[in-house]
Structure 1
Amino acid sequence: MNKSSRSITIVIVTAMVVIAGGWPGRGNASELAAAEGKVLDLAAAEVIKKFEGASCEQLKARQEEPPTMARKAAIALLRKHEKARVAFIDRIAAPVLNKMIECGMAP
């Protein structure tokens, strides 16, 4: 696993913990919501950075790779938590879709 993949995995795992209810007995609901927003921002920034920093050939090659465990877990989490999914998509949609269009990868 390269450095970029490790950092994305760490952000996603942290997001999963926070979104799934945080650390038991720590913080109130507003603190957890603020932490969730920060973690989603970090995860979104990592995804955007990954897309913007990659060539079209690299993105197409990544599309062919099987999903990692972290990616599967993040997708499962986003399927389960609608608010987190909407917030995450709102943050990444424009830059990711623009890159996909540039690379001829958009449907």
Structure 2
Amino acid sequence: MKKFSCLLAPLFALAYAGSVSAQGYPILDMVANKVIQKYQQSNCEQLWQHKEQPKSAEEQELLQMLVNNPQIRSIFIDKVSPTIVNKMFECGMIP
């Protein structure tokens, strides 16, 4: 979980400060790719364990930053959701 938070920190810091590149979102792409890779490489047991762990204060803060920036949140979710939802379905985490 700590690794996940560390990966998101640069994205949220830039998004929150409003200095995300005008040529696209290279940091967003990097973080999204890391999240996708995490889900592709994790087995179901690892995902269940991660889901049951409480979120760290850092992770909660980073998630709040996504809540506060709908544009970045939308782009991030569009990139990662197919992989995450498919993996959750395979693991029985969603019907």
| TM-score bucket (shorter structure) | 0.7 to 0.9
* Residue number in structure 1 paired with 2:94: 106
SS in structure 1 opposite 2:23? helix
Equivalent of 2:10 in 8, 14, 17: 14
- Quick one: percent identity of the two aligned structures? 29
- 2:77 aligns with 89
Distance 2:31 2:65 in 1: 13
Task: Check conservation: 1:78, 1:84, Cα contact below 8 A.
Answer: yes
Q: Which residue of 1 aligns with 2:60?
A: 72
Alpha-carbon distance, 1:22 to partner: 5.1
For the pair shown, the structure with the greater C-alpha radius of gyration is 1
Deviation at 1:50, TM superposition (A): 1.2
Q: Give the aligned residue type for 1:14.
A: P
1:32 aligns to what?
Answer: 21
Give the aligned residue type for 1:71.
E
CA distance in 1, matches of 2:28, 2:64: 15
Cα offset, 1:9, TM superposition: 3.2
TM-score (norm 1): 0.77
What secondary structure does 1:67 align onto?
Answer: coil
- Asked which structure has the greater RCO (Cα within 8 Å, sep 6+), the reply is 2
Residues 7-28 of structure 1: CA deviation (Å, up to 9, x unaligned): x3333121122112256xxxxx
- The reply to whether residue 59 of structure 1 matches residue 43 of structure 2 is no
Q: Distance in 2 between matches of 1:11 and 1:60?
A: 20
In structure 1, list runs of 5 or more residues that go unmatched.
Answer: 24-30
Aligned counterpart for 1:45 among listed residues 3, 18, 33: 33
Question: TM-score by structure 2 length?
Answer: 0.85
Displacement over 6 Å in runs of 4+: none
Unaligned runs of at least 5 residues, structure 2? none
